[in-house]
């Protein structure tokens, strides 16, 4: 009969266990993937005294119990000791070919986790309640807005799902409706009424300084284009013969990459928009007054953009945001009845709402707007008010 192995206290050691010459205990095992793993502890059981000069860890037998539980669930023990920060960094490196704006968003989340204790916690220790508490803390203590927290959760949820798929953890702690946890303090973008739209356009048209932007603003109100799509238009995209506006790209700019061309937000973003005569007339005037520098600027092989600033640079979304802000501020400084905030996106939202109220087929409106999901288009119908509902009933007789 083979002699049973014992530690220096005479206790019988189990299979895979051994005590090393320095007194430390070791457990060697083969995990469910067939990989050989080794864990260590200065204590054999939880009843052993803790040596204050040694690093405080679980006892070897407690670690073995955790390993057995993880093996039963087909998981890597302790989430492979990966922290939340390490998981997010690993996840973001798998996201090849994302937009520059998305990459910047990843960097923002990683920088936040580097400053948070939450970022250094082991992923297998994060429970759903922990995830909820952290997001609540970001809003209530740190003053983060709902939209910022939405973006943070938008990175953490797929990162933790990757950990689930890799058998590192059993459940995704971020898989819950965000609105059930943090208060949605987002300011709802309201569409302008038709009367407000007319007043705003009339003001721009008659203002000595701002009238040069009238045609562009009119087009934004009457086509529902995203501002980056409008800035990305070139002369060759405007087909006057067939009365079609070809949407093929977005013009973007940032401090790192300068100007660059980006594909539309989704496949639905590639579209042909029918042009009405008034929209065509605005484009003709823009082209007629177009004043490019001597050497036409080219961005990623694309040239022929419609607007240039006084320095000969291509006008992009930030320019238009400034134009709108100055126009809106001046309008409200002159008139007693204030105009709700007007931005390029409000123009798009107003167009969508107007078309919905006019009875346009939702699928046709979805196509014109370039929405990939019909639910985004249908949300515009929530802007109906009593008078709109009354008209709809009257139509039905």
Question: What is the distance between the alpha carbons of residues 227 and 345, in angstroms, rounded to a whole number?
Answer: 7
Q: How many CB atoms lie within 10 A of CB 20?
A: 9
Order of strands across the sheet that contains 36-41: 17-19, 25-30, 36-41
CB of 169 closer than 8 Å to CB of 177? no
CB of 250 closer than 8 Å to CB of 264? yes
Indicate the angle between helix axes 128-140 and 146-165, nearest 10 degrees. Answer: 160
Question: What is the distance between the alpha carbons of residues 149 and 393, in angstroms, rounded to a whole number?
Answer: 41
Facing residues of 262 across strands?
Answer: 250
Q: What are phi and psi of 88, to 5 degrees?
A: -65, -40
What is the per-residue DSSP string for 2-40? PPPPB-TTSPBPPTTEEE-TTS-EEEEEE-TTS-EEEEE
What is the per-residue DSSP string for 171-220? S-TT-S-GGGTS---PPPPPPPPHHHHHHHHHHHHH-TTGGGGHHHHHHH
Active-site amino acid positions: 226, 265, 345, 348, 371, 381
Q: What are the residues whose beta carbons fall under 8 Å from the beta carbon of 216, sequence distance 6 or more?
A: 230, 282, 286, 306, 307, 320
DSSP three-state, residue 252:
strand
Question: What is the distance between the alpha carbons of residues 116 and 120, in angstroms, rounded to a whole number?
Answer: 7
Distances in Å between the alpha carbon of 226 and those of 197, 282, 320, 322, 393? 17, 17, 12, 16, 33
How is residue 192 written in tokens? Answer: 């302008």
User: What secondary structure letter does DSSP report for 122?
Assistant: B
How is residue 327 written in tokens? Answer: 């126009």
Q: What are the residues whose beta carbons fall under 8 Å from the beta carbon of 316, sequence distance 6 or more?
A: 228, 231, 251, 252, 253, 259
């Amino acid at each position: 009969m083979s002699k049973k192995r014992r530690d220096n206290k005479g206790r019988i050691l189990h299979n895979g266990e051994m005590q090393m010459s320095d007194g430390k205990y070791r457990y060697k095992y083969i995990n469910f993937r067939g990989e050989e793993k080794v864990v260590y502890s200065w204590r054999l059981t939880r009843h052993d005294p803790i040596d204050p000069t040694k690093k405080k860890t679980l006892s070897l037998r407690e670690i073995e119990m955790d390993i057995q539980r993880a093996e039963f669930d087909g998981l890597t023990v302790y989430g492979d000791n990966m922290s939340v920060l390490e998981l997010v960094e690993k996840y973001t490196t798998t996201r090849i070919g994302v937009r520059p704006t998305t990459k910047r968003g990843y960097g923002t989340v990683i920088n936040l986790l580097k400053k948070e204790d939450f970022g250094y916690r082991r992923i297998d220790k994060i429970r759903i309640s922990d995830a909820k508490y952290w997001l609540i803390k970001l809003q209530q203590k740190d003053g983060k807005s709902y939209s910022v927290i939405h973006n943070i959760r938008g990175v953490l949820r797929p990162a933790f799902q990757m950990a689930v798929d890799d058998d590192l953890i059993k459940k995704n702690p971020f898989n819950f409706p965000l609105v059930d946890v943090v208060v949605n303090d987002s300011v709802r973008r309201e569409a302008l009424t038709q009367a407000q739209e007319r007043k705003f356009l009339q003001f721009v048209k008659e203002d000595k300084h701002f009238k040069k932007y009238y045609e562009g603003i009119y087009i934004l109100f009457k086509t529902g284009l995203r501002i980056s799509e409008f800035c990305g238009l070139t002369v060759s995209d405007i087909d006057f013969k067939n009365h079609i506006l070809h949407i093929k790209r977005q013009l973007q700019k940032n401090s790192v990459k300068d100007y660059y061309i980006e594909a539309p937000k989704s496949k639905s973003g590639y579209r042909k928009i029918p042009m009405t005569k008034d929209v065509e007339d605005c484009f003709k005037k823009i082209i007629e007054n177009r004043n490019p520098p001597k050497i036409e600027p080219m961005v990623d092989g694309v040239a022929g953009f419609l607007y240039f600033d006084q320095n000969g640079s291509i006008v992009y979304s930030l320019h238009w945001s400034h134009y709108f802000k100055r126009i809106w501020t001046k309008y409200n400084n002159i008139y007693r009845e204030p105009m709700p905030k007007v931005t390029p996106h409000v123009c798009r939202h107003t167009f969508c709402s107007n078309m919905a109220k006019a009875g346009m087929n939702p699928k046709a409106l979805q196509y014109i707007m370039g929405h990939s999901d019909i639910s985004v288009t249908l949300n515009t119908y929530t802007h109906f008010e009593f008078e709109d509902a009354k008209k709809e009933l009257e139509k039905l007789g």
